[in-house]
Amino acid sequence: MKPSTRLTQHLAGLENFGHSIRRPVYLFRPTRVEQVAELLELANKEEVLVGLRGAGRSYGDAALTGGGIVLDFGRMNRILDWNPETGVITVEPGVTIEQLWRHILEDGWWSPVMPGTMFPTIGGCLGANVHGKNNWKAGTMGEHVLSFNALLPNGEEVTCTPTENEELFHSIISGMGLLGVFTSITMQMKKVYSGNLDVNAWAEPNMKRMLAATDANKEEDYIVGWVDSTTRLGLGRGQMHSARYLAEGEDANPAQTLNPNSQDLPDTIMGLVPKSMVWRFLQLGLNNPGAWAGNLAKYFLNRTVGNNKQYIQSLVAFTFLLDYVPNWERAYGKGGLIQYQSFMPFDSAEETFTRILRHSQQRGLPSYLGVMKRHRPDHFLFSHAVDGFSLALDFKVPPRKQARLVKMLGELNQIVLEGNGRFYFAKDSALTPDVVRAFLGEETVKKFQALKARVDPQQLLQTDLYRRCFIGPNGL
């Protein structure tokens, strides 16, 4: 069927966050729920697929639907209700994490779960069911949702809470925009008594010690480890950061630190280089020798002047460290980057992460940045978390080595499955239907298929990730 001008007027090229994929789509930016319903009907009539998109901050193809309609929720971004007494907030799905903290912090509240960047939307974060550097303690963002309204592709509007429409509640959250559209979301925020955190930083010499440190500091509120994924000596070494909220009365001037303006990240790095230029300098070091030297220098600085340091840092600076360098992902060059995050149970984490790092080094395609976190399992449909650890690795995609990288990521998938690990769709570019079936399990896949047939009988909601992971050449 030939697309009508209603569609072709909206033709646009859209990329993923990692800039490794570009697709032609019909891009619509609705402002009201009725428009979303109309667009779903239009898609049905014109026989095109629909993908949902928040801020497009998923690394891979989770928010792309090549050749289809993409509904971008960036303009459905109103804060509908905020109660500073109870910390309960109701938002439209396109409200960003940045809008959220700027709105609530002054009243002494913070989101209990935050991803590592403030640019995503709440709808997108719940689509993936994001975790923070406190996943083992606070769970995923979905665990703090009190209720949401959603529009189903079959035209039904539903209200879901942990007890009402319970199955849809636990499936649309984490469902990667494949089962329904969040139209409003109500969440419980966390009380804070300061805009600052008490942070500790120290270096660890190898993977075993990094994992042990990540586990041993569970009484802290946040833990995260930077891993040098380029070194062969002291494989898996890195630097740990743990942080603790300040208790009531600990901050001498909470009115000041809770003021959103005091949280703003500085405009220059080290008072000299404008932030907007930094990614261009980074570009020079993002090759194998440059990344090796950069990681080595960072480790030795952490080991010496930066070791065993305790300091006060703002919530924003600690939580959204990557946002210090705008467009940092562009430093990866033309081919972009892929992130590969695997989640390993406690007992197999050391062996699996060690194998992953060795394998990528042996293949000549080391990751240039590694991040380790501690997790706990959850009850959502496409859960990525385990009682254990994750290691997120950023890989450059050099255009000439793309096929080699894809092959290597396929090999890493097998290593992760051998250790009973899991994967995270928000970060994924390398899963195939057989791997998805293996990590999600037969029961979950069947449950998803049954739900999809019920709420989306026309199979309208499809993303490139869905087609790659659930249909693929052989299908599920």
Ligand X SMILES: Cc1cc2nc3c(=O)[nH]c(=O)nc-3n(C[C@H](O)[C@H](O)[C@H](O)COP(=O)(O)OP(=O)(O)OC[C@H]3O[C@@H](n4cnc5c(N)ncnc54)[C@H](O)[C@@H]3O)c2cc1C
- Shortest reach from residue 384's CB to ligand X, in Å: 8
- Shortest reach from residue 474's CB to ligand X, in Å: 22
User: Is residue 73 a contact residue for ligand X (CB under 6 A)?
Assistant: yes
Q: Judged by CB under 6 A, which stretch of 120-128, 208-216, 304-312, 350-358 contacts ligand X?
A: 120-128
By CB under 6 A, the residues from 199 to 238 that bind ligand X are none
Strand partners, 150: 158, 182
- Shortest reach from residue 209's CB to ligand X, in Å: 23
Please pick, from the candidates 7, 14, 17, 396, the single residue that binds ligand X as defined by CB under 6 A. 17
User: Is residue 241 a contact residue for ligand X (CB under 6 A)?
Assistant: no
- Shortest reach from residue 140's CB to ligand X, in Å: 8
The tokens for 18 are: 């990692």
By CB under 6 A, the residues from 264 to 323 that bind ligand X are 322
User: 475 exposed, middle or buried (CB, 10 Å; 0-12, 13-18, 19+)?
Assistant: exposed
- Shortest reach from residue 191's CB to ligand X, in Å: 22
User: Is residue 383 a contact residue for ligand X (CB under 6 A)?
Assistant: no
d(CA 369, CA 359): 15
Cα–Cα distance list, 157 to 52, 153, 196 (Å): 17, 9, 41
Please choose, from the candidates 457, 455, 459, the residue with its C-alpha nearest in 3D space to the C-alpha of residue 156: 455
What DSSP designation does 461 have? B
User: Is residue 177 a contact residue for ligand X (CB under 6 A)?
Assistant: yes
- Shortest reach from residue 367's CB to ligand X, in Å: 15
Q: Tell me how crowded residue 167 is: count the other CB atoms within 10 A of its CB.
A: 13
- Say how many residues make up the chain: 476
By CB under 6 A, the residues from 423 to 462 that bind ligand X are 426
Select 99 or 259, whichever has its Cβ closest to ligand X.
99
- Shortest reach from residue 163's CB to ligand X, in Å: 21
d(CA 229, CA 210): 12
Beta pairing class for 69-72 and 50-53: parallel
Select 112 or 177, whichever has its Cβ closest to ligand X.
177
Select 30 or 108, whichever has its Cβ closest to ligand X.
30
Tell me the number of residues near ligand X by CB under 6 A.
33
Please pick, from the candidates 39, 52, 189, 349, the single residue that binds ligand X as defined by CB under 6 A. 52
The tokens for 155 are: 């035209």
What DSSP designation does 109 have? E
Q: Judged by CB under 6 A, which stretch of 110-118, 192-200, 207-215, 403-411 contacts ligand X?
A: 110-118
The residues near 72 (Cβ < 8 Å, ≥ 6 apart) are 27, 28, 29, 53, 54, 56
User: Is residue 463 a contact residue for ligand X (CB under 6 A)?
Assistant: yes
User: 257 exposed, middle or buried (CB, 10 Å; 0-12, 13-18, 19+)?
Assistant: buried
Please pick, from the candidates 105, 130, 386, 431, the single residue that binds ligand X as defined by CB under 6 A. 130
Cα angle vertex 210, ends 227, 327, to 5°?
25
Amino acid (1-letter code) at residue 363: R
- Taking phi over 0 as left and psi of -120 to 50 as alpha, with beta for the rest, 170 belongs to alpha
Select 108 or 245, whichever has its Cβ closest to ligand X.
245
Q: Tell me how crowded residue 106 is: count the other CB atoms within 10 A of its CB.
A: 15
Select 296 or 445, whichever has its Cβ closest to ligand X.
445
Q: Judged by CB under 6 A, which stretch of 125-133, 229-237, 248-256, 448-456 contacts ligand X?
A: 125-133
**Which residues make up the interface to ligand X (CB under 6 A)?**
17, 51-58, 62-63, 73, 93, 115-117, 120-121, 123-125, 127-128, 130-132, 176-177, 181-182, 322, 426, 463
